[in-house]
A = this chain, B = another copy of it.
Amino acid sequence: MEIAAKAELAKRAAIGLAAVKTDRKNKALGAIAKALRKDSRRIIAANEADIKAAERQKLAAPLLKRLKFDEKKIEETIAGIKSLIKLPDPAGRILSATELDKGLRLYKVSCPIGVIACIFESRPDALVQISTLCLKSGNAVILKGGSEALHTNKILAEIIDEASRKAGIPKGWLQLLETRADVRQMLSMDEYIDLVIPRGSNAFVRYIMDNTNIPVLGHSEGICHIYVNGKADLDMAIKITVDSKCQYVAVCNAAETLLVDRKIAKKFLPVIKTALEEKGVASTPSTSSGQAGSPQVEIRGCEKTRKIIKVKAATEKDWATEYLDYILSIKVVDGLDEAIEHINKYGSKHTDAIITSDKKAAEKFLEMVDSADVFWNCSTRFSDGYRYGLGAEVGISTNKIHARGPVGLEGLTIYKWKLYGNGQTVAEYASGKKRFTHKKLF
């Protein structure tokens, strides 16, 4: 099918889906979970074909691991759907209600955005996760997964489409794209598509932004900072820095740069160096890191740092680098203002933390650091939809509009204004015959 035809079908389905009640959406999600289990052999067979092809193409081991979709992964995916069913419907919530005048009531009601296009990495479970999040929130979805997972994605999309349609969800709400050329075409269809969510590298997200008029819910890299203020509890600072850097290095909310207040640098730098080199990973074993043993953290310091501890030199480039590895850059700063300025200059508006016992300094940091997530006395690794209690995570947004930080189901909705009258005209109010009361009901 032509991409335009697919997008048009999705748009048409989205209109119908917006009127589907919560109960029916949940029943459809239940049917999808059941179908995934029933068809697990077919899914696994398709996945094995993808894996064999990937092995022939000498795909790197970590990628192969992500591609794998076995019995265990299917069960995890089903568990995910079951907890999604329990979440409240993000659409149909009354956000505010105002009586404009007697018999003229205005409601601001949350509703689906419409058609969401998502381009995602090679994990096939992402397809199930994204499509069920969209279904729960009442959005039609256009999906493009990694080409390595093509067979697995195709069968998963088939199963989800069939099960949901049997449960009464409008035909066409889920569309699968297969090639990069499809994506390029899709990006021009702002007539049908309301939001693009690209998941992947920074360069990839930038490419999408540069090539479409459709709004993009972007996720840029995470250059996260820990700032150890002059009035910090240094034991706490060590514990939080080690966790932020080492608990799982390959993720966007891991810390990349440590800013240390001049006043405590002499005391703090030697102990944090020891902690990162010796205790590092050993004190915080992580099953997710996929690392055996406990790699030392390589420190790259500014000149002032290197006068106190013996470490490699950091260059200008280090301050703007997301290592995603056991590397930490350290800079000595004159105080709170320089820390804020450094973060706003080099950070990626993701997650930044201050360690201090000074409430006033903390509040200033939280106000003036222009990031989605600003923390006081805790690890940057907390910025995550599940840890925040959002129930499900669509992604982490570094946008400044619509949704920011960990995005839950709510991020897949917008609102519309519903006005209920009984014959009112504006002329009656313009002439002064009637007056607005603007009585807040909710």
Contact = CB atoms under 8 A, between A and B. Distances in A.
Contacts of A366: 416, 418
Given A417-B406, A418-B366, A215 B377 contact: no
Chain A: interface secondary structure?
Answer: mixed
B243 A421 contact: no
A18 B423 CA distance: 44
A373 B243 contact: no
Contacts of A248: 426
Contacts of A113: 400-401
Contacts of A286: 427, 430
A204 to B, nearest CB: 15
B415 A247 contact: no
Contacts of A283: 427
Nearest to A357: B422
Contacts of A430: 247, 286-288
A15 B425 contact: no
A426 B18 contact: no
Contacts of A202: none
Contact of A400 (B98, B114, B431): B114
Contacts of A19: 364, 367-368
Contacts of A209: 213
Given A100-B387, A389-B98, A422-B377, A414 B400 contact: yes
Copies in the complex: 2
A195 interface: yes
Interface stretch (A32-40, A118-126, A233-241, A266-274): A233-241
A340 to B, nearest CB: 7
B426 A243 contact: yes
B247 A420 contact: no
Nearest to A209: B213
Interface string A62-75: 00000000000000
A374 interface: yes
A200 interface: no
Interface in A397-413: 399-402, 404-406
A171 to B, nearest CB: 16
Interface string A372-397: 11111111011100011100000000
A401 B431 CA distance: 35
Interface of A: 14-16, 18-19, 98, 100, 104, 106, 111, 113-114, 194-195, 209-210, 213, 215, 217, 233, 236, 239-240, 242-243, 247-248, 283-288, 340, 344, 364, 366-368, 370-379, 381-383, 387-389, 399-402, 404-406, 414-427, 429-431, 436, 438, 440
15 contacts: A114-B400, A194-B401, A195-B400, A215-B399, A236-B422, A239-B425, A240-B424, A287-B430, A373-B416, A374-B418, A377-B423, A377-B424, A382-B419, A383-B419, A404-B415
